[in-house]
Structure 1
Amino acid sequence: MAVQLWETLKEAIVVYTGLSPSTFFTVLTLLLAVYYVVSGLFGAPPDRHRPRHIEEEEMPPLRPPVQLGEITAEELKAYDGNDPDKPLLMAIKAQIYDVSQSRMFYGPGGPYALFAGKDASRALAKMSFEDKDLTGDISGLGPFELDALQDWEYKFMSKYVKVGTVKSEVPVAESESNAEPSETTSRDIDSAAAAVKSDETPSNTDADKEE
């Protein structure tokens, strides 16, 4: 059987190339030799099956997380991954986490890049990619959405380092200004009552004198 295949192969070489089998294999060997020489001069072809540890060694080492404390939502936007000198941050329920190790997901070009630099609690709970949901406001969410958000929070707590909190946007001055009128009104009422009492006392005295 092998002999028949060899004879068939030789006949095919002669028919399709016009060369004798020995000449054909000699030319093929020379072409392979030239290919390897050229490859050695201009660099080896890229290896698509490089070991994973080699790829990891080529990646720059991650910087240790830096504690930021309390920052505003506007300040958090600066940590969306577009500045290579800053960590990649994301917040859930006002808690800020360093997600730099998952840049392929949350960094520029990643599937969740729009969540970076924001408190995306509402978007994560609803699995929404709409701009209106990129907020930390979770009011009005249903029980299933809150459970989903809780799962995300547990995941972030176990995987990433917390580096700060998002400052509340409720203005303090407004609450204080609302309290001041009530205090002033109370003092005014007491003063008015005292004035009325003082006005009544002399009038009573004068009435006694008249009697």
Structure 2
Amino acid sequence: MVAQGIAEALQAYTGLTPGAAATILALMLATYLLVSSLFVAPASPAAGAAPPKPPQQQEEKKEGETEEEEPMPFVYPDPVEVGEVTLEQLRAYDGKDPAKQILIAIRGQVYDVSRGRLFYGPQGPYSLFAGRDATRALALMSFDPNDLTGDLDGLSPDDLEVLQDWEEKFKERYPRVGHLACQDAAVSGRDAAPLHHEEGDA
């Protein structure tokens, strides 16, 4: 009598026959059990016991084959002092030879930017500056190859301020490894008006 009352109430509220309601309930329970089993942590191995290896690896060890070694991460060359270099010599350090440093000159100073290979390496967004004097290009925020020079003529005070910001960033992030050989003063930027640095900026 009670079961019949429950069945009638179930059908009145849900519109389902008792058989259909039982089937849906069983499917929901099975789904819950299946999904919850996916999130259960595996049983931890006994103390001191090594975790079992997959069968394929066990077979390889039995046959005496060596496991495939993971590739070594790329190791950047240590910064090496280059001393005084010409613009022509600087061009050899453009990142195309992985055994060489990546060098960039700013206001006559040469910086090793090898750690920034993702930016200055051959596929990087700033690869144009690698192995070059990027003074004017950085001041103008220019990617024009004609601006890859140390010539400061015609730069505005705002341009010089942008250049100073770039120079400070390079000093903080990358080691200085040399300087450009003396050339025409307008090109090297050495005799240009010095940028004013606030106390404690360096």
Give the structure-2-normalised TM-score: 0.57
Letter in 1 for 2:163: L
Aligned equivalents of 1:140, 1:169: Cα separation in 2:
19
- Please state how far the C-alpha of 1:139 moved relative to its aligned partner: 1.4
Aligned equivalents of 2:143, 2:22: Cα separation in 1:
64
Taking the TM superposition and a 5 Å limit, the aligned residue runs for 1:1-211 are 4=24, 6-7=26-27, 58-170=72-184
Aligned equivalents of 1:97, 1:2: Cα separation in 2:
76
Quickly say closer, same or farther: Cα 1:151–1:3, change in 2 above 3 A: farther
Aligned match of 2:16: none
Quickly say closer, same or farther: Cα 1:9–1:111, change in 2 above 3 A: same
Aligned equivalents of 1:109, 1:122: Cα separation in 2:
22
Higher-Rg structure is 1
Letter in 2 for 1:153: E
Aligned equivalents of 2:27, 2:112: Cα separation in 1:
69
Q: Secondary structure at the match of 1:117?
A: coil
Contact 2:77 2:99 in 1 (8 A): no
- Please state how far the C-alpha of 1:163 moved relative to its aligned partner: 0.6
Aligned equivalents of 2:22, 2:153: Cα separation in 1:
78
Deviations 1:143-186 (A, max 9, x none): 11111100000011111111111112239xxxxxxxxxxxxxxx
Letter in 2 for 1:140: G
Quickly say closer, same or farther: Cα 1:93–1:5, change in 2 above 3 A: farther
- Please state how far the C-alpha of 1:60 moved relative to its aligned partner: 2.7
Structure 1: tracts of 5 or more residues without a match: 11-24, 26-38, 42-54, 172-211
Letter in 2 for 1:79: Y
Quickly say closer, same or farther: Cα 1:168–1:58, change in 2 above 3 A: same
Aligned equivalents of 2:26, 2:114: Cα separation in 1:
61
Contact 2:81 2:177 in 1 (8 A): yes
Letter in 1 for 2:96: N
- Please state how far the C-alpha of 1:108 moved relative to its aligned partner: 0.3
Letter in 2 for 1:108: P
- Please state how far the C-alpha of 1:40 moved relative to its aligned partner: 8.1
- Please state how far the C-alpha of 1:3 moved relative to its aligned partner: 5.6
Percent identity over paired residues: 51
Structure 2: tracts of 5 or more residues without a match: 1-20, 35-53, 57-69, 186-202
Aligned equivalents of 1:140, 1:152: Cα separation in 2:
18
Quickly say closer, same or farther: Cα 1:9–1:75, change in 2 above 3 A: same
| Higher relative helix content | 1
Q: Secondary structure at the match of 1:79?
A: coil
Quickly say closer, same or farther: Cα 1:151–1:9, change in 2 above 3 A: same
Letter in 2 for 1:87: Q
